[in-house]
Amino acid sequence: MHRQVLLSRLGPPNSADAHYINPALRPLSTSSVSSRTALACFSPLSPHSLSLLRSWWIRELVDCRLLSVRASGVRRPASAVAAAAAGLWRRRIGVAGACDVRRDPGFFHGSKLHESRRHRLALTRALFTEAPDAPDAPVGRMASAAVMPAWLSIVEKSVFRFDESESARKEAAPSLSFVTPGLREEEIHVDSNEPEFIPVFEADGVNQVVTLKLPTGTAFYGTGEVGGPVERTGKRVYSWNTDAWGYNQSTASLYQSHPWVFSILPNGQAFGVLADTTRRCEIDLRKESSIRIVATASFPVITFGPFATPEALMTSLGHAIGTMQMPPKWALGYQQCRWSYMTAARVAEVAATFREKKIPCDVIWMDIDYMQDFKCFTFDKETFPDPKGLSDELHSLGFKGIWMLDPGIHADKGYGPYDTGCEEDVWVQTADGKPYIGECWPGPVAFPDFLNKKTRSWWAKLVKEFVAIGVDGIWNDMNEPAVFKTVSKTMPESNIHRGDEEVGGRQTHSHYHNVYGMYQARSTYEGMLLANADKRPFVLTRAAFIGAHRYAATWTGDNLANWEHLGMSIPMALNLGLSGQAFSGPDIGGFAGDSTPKLFARWMGLGAMLPFARGHSEQGTIDQEPWSFGPEVEELSRYALNRRYRMLPHFYTLFHKSHVTGVPVMTPVFFADPTDPKLRKVDDSFLLGPILVKAWPLPKKRTTVVDMDLPKGIWQRFHFNDDHPELPMLFLKGGAIVSTGPVIQNVGEASPTDTVTLLIALDDKGRASGELYEDAGDGFGFEAGDYLITHYEAEKVASASSKDGEVVIRIASTEGQRERPKRKLRARVLIGDIVEVEGEGVDGEELRVKLPADEDISKKVVLNRENDHSNLERMQSLLDEVFEDHQAIMGVGAVLMPEDLVKGDVAVKVVPWIGGHIMSMIHKPSGYEWMEGRLENGGYEEFSGSEFKSSGYNEPYTVVRRELSQMYGNEVLGMEGDIGGGLVLAREINLPHDSLKKVRISSSIVARSVGAGSGGFSRLVRLRIHPMFRITHPMESYIEYTSVDGKRHTLKPAMEFGETSYEGAEKPNGEWTLIDSVTGLAVVNTFDVKEVELCHVKWGPGSVTLELWSEERPVSKDTPLSITHEYDLIDTLAS
């Protein structure tokens, strides 16, 4: 029974009427009342329903401050809390015949009821004991947990650990998210420290289910690396690290797992929930203001807050899970990467071009191309014969070099790392104790067991030797871990890790899967420290778990070169930051597919403002260096990166603040005013401290400042003489001071004596303040005090020399032992929209800047806006011509947008101009994306022969029919593609009005004209329907059908790839169903068995294809080949 049904039986909240909710529940006689009789008034109640009712009652008591879970500062046992709850039930609930339950204003209506006390006692016993004669008898896991979870106050005030029970706490696995596992175990005693929100623990088979209801209007964030909007209400995420190339907004599992929810309550307070489990975990936020977490085995839940501000919540989270290490300053510069810098000469050429064109850049990256046969810790003897020489050349140009290391070690005797790994017994094992051998880039590979100290020490030594050739940073890729040629895309969950006792000891891979990448990053970090203890390591990891920020930065994985992924760049980086990972960003320009000048330009403008700024693209795509799209985009890229390098002093200060406090480098706009609901879903803007960055991650033109909806207060727009229609707008909050510097080509060019330029925006009281953090830029001297923090302040004062006053800028205080360099100080006082006054002096001395009259400022604002609008229009016109010319050269595929069909529970995205294929099919209620393809291929495709990718799959299709649904109509898209020889492949995609869950597809190969002598018949053709379904839980998914001969079949994937054909009596009799047993979601494919000769199943990495093949024959104008079939997207649990 659902909780809502239980509550309906208790009576509607705030109902002033006393009445029987269910007339069938008649009052009982008072002659023989027992707890079982009382309980029968709620019949039928399963143990699960009883558990919910108990939990609801306790939560109501705590929320209404009528029940405390502590007494005299000491936590009360669960049994005592249950007894107190029972007592309040007796006092507060009036029961007429043991079933007339009412509520009154303030708590429950019916306080004046004086019905039989025996009934009230009986109902209480029914709720809080298993049997009337044994009130203290032990209860099962579910009922016990639902009565009251065991809890501790940990870490600091307002942080609480909840467990299903006292025994569950003792049996819980060690925390791998906490910076020190003992922090989660140690109870602290703080006065007036009780949880405001208490999670409910329940059992559901082998799973533990935790729910937490928050006030209506709560907004959700966090959940780590996720696609889609920044606000997460309505979304469900699965924490299970997955190689998710080409993901989109609905992909439920990406490369990282952060079982953490950041919440903003309606009053602006911040509250966080951490499910401290490394296992596969479902975070369900689909129900408004409710958090539901499901994972196998028992796990603790840690709650943080509520706190007055979101910054306070992030600081508290940082106290628990740690904060990011202070990165080397060069890592904040722009970085250039590509999968296919095939030679050392090409790397050197790219580096030299940056310097020749004066485009700032600090890092060049080496992908797997540098390796000998893709073997880690090796260098290709022909293409990278002298890695030390390449490193020296890069260093001479002011570049750092970052090199990739995957976890898989080629299982090849005679290969040093493999041989030493075997000698030291470092490999992950199969269930029978043998080294597990999977497949990755070099072929068969063994996987180091990074959960073991011995393995980490072995890896660290390899890294130390590797760094000796001049490596400045290391990139850990493929470490989910990704395994080729497997349906699950990873190693078997039955594999064995021999983890250290302090991390959990010997466990299966299902326990350690999500932390594998984090522990590789830790091992790499330790190896770099071993190589040079005086340098800050820089590690980038693709896979991670919450807490991995202690060892590595990250990026948002293999994104696509399209506007959708540009739009996801901001919310993805924001939610990573709100999950503890402050150092992140996307592949600028998009990794997969060809970018366009407009897309790249817009992405560069945005990416230059993100914490991690790296351009990256895959092999087989066009070049995507800043100069690859012509002089106009090159110049715009220079503007964008010059802006970033001017702001490096501010970025570095923000990174230090994040290192100290845990507050992200970039934050959502609602940080400016958490009480303003309008700011909670802003996806196109973000804050860099007090700077608001307003971007346009869509192809539309940017708006003017007067049309913008900014947070409350004073926000002064500024730029660096680089205002451009493709660059974001920048605003400084009133009351803030930020520090900037000169344009440099790399961080190594910066000097402590460079002029510091302060941007100053006064608040409504005429004051401002801010700070600048400085240190050596590398090394760990700052930990011993070798740093300087300058707290600047500014104030508007009256002046004898200026009737309109002046602004006085001075140093309020300093921190650290580092000596202040002798340098100039420049002030830009922002006093209107792109209106400012300047002054210059000596840093450390008072500086005064005179202000103009208010009337002059107003005139200047108007004039600036007019000139600004005219200049931007002119620039935009020139750029539009450039973009159009490029589109004409590249073809329509570069600019067309997919067709969207949406009706009921189904959303479909179709690409007519490349194969007419369906690249996305989403079940809207769950957000589950059954089909997920690229712009140019994948998803649903059709071929005209038995051969894979025969004619039809990539020809341009013409839209011949497009009907938008009205209230009771259909969504229809009709297309035709010329497949040669007088043949046309026609397809009609229909979301029918008679079902809100179906997609109907009618396809045919039609002869329009055939050559002379053919007798009116075409060549031999076959209509081959090829839908590739994405499955989030590959090993828990299966296919069911009844064959033509009446037999029932269940097809399950093996770890390895496989494909099978079914025809004749063995083929499905017109229907087969693909089911994800974890989510309960399914897709039912129905078809006319007479039109289908053969059904073909192929299991792939995280996918399965369910093909329908027609017979093979010639066609004429009168005898086309046709298949009409439907996909019905259903939720088996809901139905």
What pLDDT, on a 0 to 100 scale, did the predictor assign at position 552? 99
The answer to whether the CB of 547 falls within 8 A of the CB of 518 is yes
Query: d(Cα 970, Cα 990) in Å, to the nearest integer?
Result: 7
Residue 298 pLDDT > 80, yes or no?
Answer: yes
Q: What is the mean pLDDT of residues 28-35?
A: 34
The answer to whether the CB of 987 falls within 8 A of the CB of 974 is yes
The answer to whether the CB of 849 falls within 8 A of the CB of 871 is no
Tell me the sheet residues that pair with 832: 835
pLDDT digits over 144-167, tens only?
A: 345 468 999 999 999 999 999 999
Q: At what angle do helices 597-607 and 631-646 cross, to 10 degrees?
A: 10
Residue 2 pLDDT > 70, yes or no?
Answer: no
pLDDT digits over 529-551, tens only?
A: 999 999 999 999 999 999 999 99
55 secondary structure, DSSP code: H
Q: Give catalytic status of residue 558 as yes or no.
A: yes
**Confidence at 204, pLDDT banded by 50, 70, 90:** confident
Share of the chain above pLDDT 90, in %: 68
Buried-state track 673-710, b at ≥16 Cβ within 10 A, e below 16: ebeeeebbebbbbbbbbbbbbbbbbeeeebeebeeeeb
Q: How many helices (H) and strands (E) does the chain have?
A: 20, 58
What six digits make up the tokens of 414? 């005679």
CA–CA–CA angle 44, 47, 52 (5° rounding): 95
pLDDT digits over 362-380, tens only?
A: 999 999 999 999 999 999 9
The answer to whether the CB of 512 falls within 8 A of the CB of 499 is yes
**Which one is catalytic: 367, 472, 477, 843?**
477
The DSSP line for 1065-1123 is GGSEEEEEEEEETTTTEEEEEEE-TTT-SEEEEEEETTEEEEEEEEEEE---SSS-EEE
Buried-state track 399-414, b at ≥16 Cβ within 10 A, e below 16: bbbbbbbbbbbbbbee
Residue 1085 pLDDT > 90, yes or no?
Answer: yes
The total number of residues written for the chain in this structure: 1135
> 522 Cβ partners below 8 Å, 6+ apart?
450, 456, 550, 551
What pLDDT, on a 0 to 100 scale, did the predictor assign at position 914? 85
Q: Where are the extended beta strands (E) located within 65-141?
A: 70-71, 74-75
The answer to whether the CB of 615 falls within 8 A of the CB of 336 is yes
Give Cα separations from 547 to 185, 260, 551, 578 (angstroms): 17, 11, 8, 12
Q: Where are the extended beta strands (E) located within 300-349?
A: 301-307, 335-336
Tell me the sheet residues that pair with 301: 162, 275
**Which one is catalytic: 60, 282, 369, 480?**
480
Question: One fold for both 332-407+461-485+507-654 and 899-1131?
Answer: no
The answer to whether the CB of 1038 falls within 8 A of the CB of 1020 is no
In degrees rounded to 5, what are phi and psi of residue 777? Answer: 90, -15
Query: d(Cα 788, Cα 803) in Å, to the nearest integer?
Result: 37
Query: d(Cα 96, Cα 116) in Å, to the nearest integer?
Result: 8
Any idea which residue has 């060892």 for tokens?
551
**Confidence at 1039, pLDDT banded by 50, 70, 90:** very high
The answer to whether the CB of 238 falls within 8 A of the CB of 282 is yes
Residue 485: how many other CB atoms lie within 10 Å: 13
Does CATH place domain 149-321 in 2.40.160.40?
A: no
Out of 390-399, 492-501, 689-698, 947-956, least confident range: 947-956
The answer to whether the CB of 809 falls within 8 A of the CB of 760 is yes
1013 secondary structure, DSSP code: T
What pLDDT, on a 0 to 100 scale, did the predictor assign at position 52? 52
* Strands across the sheet containing 290-296: 200-204, 207-213, 290-296, 281-284, 236-239
Q: What is the mean pLDDT of residues 699-725?
A: 84
Out of 7-16, 506-515, 632-641, 1013-1022, least confident range: 7-16
Query: d(Cα 544, Cα 553) in Å, to the nearest integer?
Result: 10
> Which pairs with CB-CB distance under 8 Å and at least 24 residues apart come from 628-635?
629/595, 629/596, 629/597, 629/600, 629/601, 629/886, 630/597, 630/882, 630/886, 632/597, 632/878, 632/879, 632/882, 633/597, 633/600, 633/601, 633/604, 633/882, 634/357, 634/359
What pLDDT, on a 0 to 100 scale, did the predictor assign at position 454? 98
Fold of 658-866: Immunoglobulin-like (2.60.40)
Q: What is the mean pLDDT of residues 455-471?
A: 98
pLDDT digits over 830-858, tens only?
A: 998 888 999 999 999 999 999 988 888 88
What pLDDT, on a 0 to 100 scale, did the predictor assign at position 215? 96
What pLDDT, on a 0 to 100 scale, did the predictor assign at position 882? 63
Query: d(Cα 467, Cα 465) in Å, to the nearest integer?
Result: 6
Q: What is the mean pLDDT of residues 957-977?
A: 79
Residue 71 pLDDT > 50, yes or no?
Answer: no
> 677 Cβ partners below 8 Å, 6+ apart?
217, 219, 266
Q: Give catalytic status of residue 684 as yes or no.
A: no
What pLDDT, on a 0 to 100 scale, did the predictor assign at position 779? 98
Give Cα separations from 1036 to 277, 900, 1004, 1077 (angstroms): 20, 30, 35, 6
What pLDDT, on a 0 to 100 scale, did the predictor assign at position 1045? 95
Give, in words, the CATH class of 332-407+461-485+507-654: alpha beta
Q: What is the mean pLDDT of the chain?
A: 86
CATH number of 899-1131: 2.70.98.10
What pLDDT, on a 0 to 100 scale, did the predictor assign at position 98? 32
**Confidence at 83, pLDDT banded by 50, 70, 90:** low
Residue 894 pLDDT > 50, yes or no?
Answer: no
> Which pairs with CB-CB distance under 8 Å and at least 24 residues apart come from 954-962?
954/914, 954/915, 955/915, 955/979, 955/985, 956/912, 956/913, 956/914, 957/912, 957/913, 957/915, 957/916, 957/987, 958/912, 959/899, 959/912, 961/988, 962/899
What six digits make up the tokens of 467? 């760094």
721 CB-contact burial (10 Å; exposed 0-12 / middle 13-18 / buried 19+): exposed
The answer to whether the CB of 914 falls within 8 A of the CB of 954 is yes
Give Cα separations from 836 to 729, 803, 863 (angstroms): 16, 18, 13
The DSSP line for 587-645 is EET-SBS---HHHHHHHHHHHTTSSS-EE---TTSPP-STTTT-HHHHHHHHHHHHHHH
CA–CA–CA angle 1009, 1011, 1015 (5° rounding): 95
Any idea which residue has 């024959």 for tokens?
1113
pLDDT digits over 608-665, tens only?
A: 999 999 999 999 999 999 999 999 999 999 999 999 999 999 999 999 999 999 999 9
Closest CA to 393 of 351, 331, 436, 333: 351
Q: What is the mean pLDDT of residues 373-399?
A: 98
Bin 505: left if φ > 0, else alpha if -120 < ψ < 50, else beta.
Answer: left
**Which one is catalytic: 231, 243, 367, 558?**
558
Closest CA to 893 of 593, 598, 589, 566: 593
Q: What is the mean pLDDT of residues 814-828?
A: 98
In degrees rounded to 5, what are phi and psi of residue 122? Answer: -65, -40
Give the highest mean pLDDT range of 692-701, 718-727, 765-774: 765-774
What six digits make up the tokens of 1038? 């299966």
Query: d(Cα 39, Cα 131) in Å, to the nearest integer?
Result: 11
Out of 47-51, 764-768, 889-893, 1046-1050, least confident range: 889-893
**Confidence at 125, pLDDT banded by 50, 70, 90:** very low
Q: Radius of gyration (Cα) for the chain, nearest Å?
A: 32
What pLDDT, on a 0 to 100 scale, did the predictor assign at position 672? 98
Q: What is the mean pLDDT of residues 1104-1109?
A: 96
What six digits make up the tokens of 951? 């004619």
Residue 26: how many other CB atoms lie within 10 Å: 12
Boundaries of every domain in the chain = 1-139, 149-321, 332-407+461-485+507-654, 658-866, 899-1131
Residue 80 pLDDT > 70, yes or no?
Answer: no
The answer to whether the CB of 27 falls within 8 A of the CB of 100 is yes
Out of 118-127, 155-164, 749-758, least confident range: 118-127
CA–CA–CA angle 1002, 1007, 1009 (5° rounding): 150
What pLDDT, on a 0 to 100 scale, did the predictor assign at position 895? 44
What six digits make up the tokens of 885? 């010319």
Q: Where are the extended beta strands (E) located within 851-956?
A: 899-903, 906-911, 917-923, 928-932, 940-943
- AA identity, residue 191: D
> 386 Cβ partners below 8 Å, 6+ apart?
344
Query: d(Cα 323, Cα 662) in Å, to the nearest integer?
Result: 5
Q: Give catalytic status of residue 369 as yes or no.
A: no
Residue 35 pLDDT > 80, yes or no?
Answer: no
7 vs 335, more confident? 335
Closest CA to 1009 of 998, 999, 1017: 1017
Query: d(Cα 603, Cα 404) in Å, to the nearest integer?
Result: 24
What pLDDT, on a 0 to 100 scale, did the predictor assign at position 781? 98
Q: What is the mean pLDDT of residues 463-477?
A: 98
